[in-house]
Amino acid sequence: MKDIYGGDAVPSQAWQTFFPDSEPDGDHQTDDRLRLSDLAKLARRTQRGIVGVARAGDRPTFTGILAAHLGAPLEDLEVVEESWPTYDHVNVQVGLDAWLADPRRTHQLLGMTNFRHQEFGLTDLLRRSSGYGPLPGNVSWVSLASGPGGQVQRAVRAGIYLVSEGDTRAAVLLKAPDPEAGLGATQMHVVADTSGAAVEIASTVRRLSVEHNVFRGQVISFGQDMFGERAGVLQFHVRPRMTAADVILPADTLATIKRQVVGVAEHRARLLAARQHLKRGLLLYGPPGVGKTHSVRYLMSQLTGVTIIELSGDSLALISTACSVARTLQPAMIVIEDVDLIAEDRDMYEGGQPLLFQLLNEMDGLAEDADVVFLLTTNRADVLEPALASRPGRVDQAVELELPDADARRALFGLYRGGLVVDDSRLESVLDRTEGVTASFLKELLRRAALVAAEETDDQPLTVSADQLDAALSDLLDTRNAMTRTLLGG
Ligand SMILES: Nc1ncnc2c1ncn2[C@@H]1O[C@H](COP(=O)(O)OP(=O)(O)OP(=O)(O)O)[C@@H](O)[C@H]1O
Ligand SMILES: [Mg+2]
């Protein structure tokens, strides 16, 4: 018998044998007579207790270690506390590592135990401990995503760096967020024996964490964890690789989109010098399956080096977080697909505004010279229009993507046939019959035709006859396939 995990299921009565206090039947008497071995055990335990209490003062404590390192009277030292959002833990570690890597500095990392679910800071550790709270121990590390394809960076969960630089001695506490305990921030506390040094160190690490930020130039998205509590779970994505030849749109449509997004980025310096704003908003709208998402991916592929932040359905409440990351890491592009969904969302979020208004306010709040693009898509422009009209100036351009005309359908046919050998002698009739379908319909048509050919022949390479192409098209256009057509946007 296999259980649901594929292991051998244990018959239920067998569990009895695993209960620690189950006793063989018939022997229910407890033996409470004192034995010699009990006395010996008691004596050993008492001895351990006495020795432990007497030598507690010998165990290293943070207070002792910090006093030895810093040398000065601890109570006189100023502690500087900095904090970052949860998702920035990796960047704080990277910034700190960059600071420590300077050859003028040497350091030693102290780990700690008993730090989980505890609210404490460097000030607490500088005071003689009462026996509770963290104790010196092993360094506990956590692996954090630092790039696409599973790249990770290890970061300290809780530890103290004892740093020496010339005559200056400093200590830096790094503490990871602990969201389960309601401690959502990444914290860094700094103390030094020289006046002003702690402030200087804290601001240098903050600057380095932006300079070496692992999100810079990457494609990232924010999501929420399955309980929706830990906002800001961040993922890296591989940047799409595409060329203009992959996007079949009327030449002027593609040129407009490119100019607004890529062109402004290319001429950044001269536009700024001429005091023209860089911040821009572009809305792509049109029916499903015409290439809005496809164009977004194309733009991402062209903006190498630009930080892309994608927000989707479940992460839209993180608009202000996304904007703050974009501002820090500009040039950046914030992508919000299917923005009509948030226009219809009447839920109030922080600040008591429906999400769409929050988005428009955030767009407005970014400085004009910020090199940030907002790229929005929708197939329900009508839902958006009133809101956009009531707050003009956020979206500079709306570009409609239309159903492909005969020329575009021909081009799509050419693009999606790929390596397939197709008898296109009756292509004109195929193009006539596909009036009004979407780009995704044509892509599927070629795959269907290839499948029909694969089922009917053993040709190598796969060859589609004109009849097979017609048959695949008739099948897709068949009224019984109305639902499939709807799915393809046909
Ligand atoms: N203009 C196009 N050029 C080339 N391929 C296209 C084009 N439009 C769509 N496609 C193909 O069809 C697929 C579906 O299109 P896409 O996801 O971009 O539609 P969409 O406009 O975003 O629709 P929706 O409103 O449903 O999100 C794309 O992955 C791509 O393979
Ligand atoms: Mg789409």
Q: Which residues pair with 159 in a beta bridge?
A: 111, 174
Is the CB of 379 inside a 6 Å radius of any atom of ligand 1?
yes
Is the CB of 288 inside a 6 Å radius of any atom of ligand 1?
yes
Which ligand is nearest to the Cα of residue 285, counting in written order?
1
**Ligand 1: which of 246, 252, 293, 487 to mutate, most ligand atoms within 8 Å of CB?**
293
Four-CA torsion 306, 310, 311, 313, nearest 10 degrees? 160
Four-CA torsion 266, 269, 270, 273, nearest 10 degrees? 150
Coil, strand or helix at 97: helix
Give the distance (Å) from ligand 1 centre to CA of residue 242: 14
**Cβ-based burial of 70 (10 A; exposed 0-12, middle 13-18, buried ≥19):** buried
- Give the DSSP per-residue string, 281-293: EEEEE-STTSSHH
In the chain, the amino acid numbered 361 is N
Q: Please report the atom of ligand 1 found closest to the CA of residue 294.
A: 18
Distance, in Å, from the CA atom of 59 to the CA atom of 128, rounded to the nearest integer, reads 13
Give the distance (Å) from ligand 2 centre to CA of residue 13: 55
Q: Are strands 168-175 and 186-192 parallel, antiparallel or unpaired?
A: antiparallel
Which ligand is nearest to the Cα of residue 401, counting in written order?
1
Give the distance (Å) from ligand 1 centre to CA of residue 489: 10
Residue 70: the pLDDT is 92
Structure tokens at 106: 């040497």
The pTM (predicted TM-score) of the whole model is 0.81
Distance, in Å, from the CA atom of 60 to the CA atom of 286, rounded to the nearest integer, reads 68
- Complete domains list, the chain, with CATH: 62-211 (no CATH), 233-400 (3.40.50.300), 406-488 (1.10.8.60)
Give the distance (Å) from ligand 1 centre to CA of residue 293: 6
Give the distance (Å) from ligand 2 centre to CA of residue 483: 18
| Sequence-ordered list of residues with C-beta below 8 angstroms from that of 127, at least 6 positions apart, any chain | 63, 74
Is the CB of 331 inside a 6 Å radius of any atom of ligand 1?
no
Query: Closest Cα to atom 28, ligand 1: which residue?
Result: 294
Give the distance (Å) from ligand 2 centre to CA of residue 408: 19
Distance, in Å, from the CA atom of 356 to the CA atom of 341, rounded to the nearest integer, reads 9
Give the distance (Å) from ligand 1 centre to CA of residue 435: 17
CA nearest neighbour of 96 among 223, 229, 226, 186: 186
Q: Are 391 and 353 in contact (CB under 8 A)?
A: no
Residue 129: the pLDDT is 63
**Cβ-based burial of 67 (10 A; exposed 0-12, middle 13-18, buried ≥19):** middle
Q: Are 105 and 164 in contact (CB under 8 A)?
A: yes
Is the CB of 403 inside a 6 Å radius of any atom of ligand 1?
no
**Ligand 1: which of 243, 249, 285, 290 to mutate, most ligand atoms within 8 Å of CB?**
290
Distance, in Å, from the CA atom of 302 to the CA atom of 293, rounded to the nearest integer, reads 14
Is the CB of 437 inside a 6 Å radius of any atom of ligand 1?
no
Give the distance (Å) from ligand 2 centre to CA of residue 52: 66
Q: Please report the atom of ligand 1 found closest to the CA of residue 404.
A: 1
Query: Closest Cα to atom 29, ligand 1: which residue?
Result: 294
pLDDT, tens digit only, all 490 positions of the chain: 443 333 444 333 333 223 333 334 444 445 677 777 777 777 766 665 565 455 555 678 899 899 999 987 888 899 999 999 989 999 999 999 999 999 999 999 999 998 888 888 899 888 876 667 888 999 999 999 999 998 999 999 999 999 999 999 999 999 998 877 778 799 999 999 998 999 999 999 999 999 999 999 999 998 765 444 454 578 999 999 999 999 999 999 999 999 999 998 889 889 989 988 888 999 999 999 999 999 999 999 999 999 999 987 667 778 888 999 999 999 999 999 988 887 766 555 555 567 788 888 888 888 888 899 999 999 988 888 887 877 777 888 899 999 999 999 999 999 999 889 999 999 999 999 999 999 999 999 999 999 999 998 887 888 999 999 999 999 888 866 777 777 776 6
Which ligand is nearest to the Cα of residue 295, counting in written order?
1
Helix 89-100 and helix 197-211: axis angle, to 10°?
A: 120
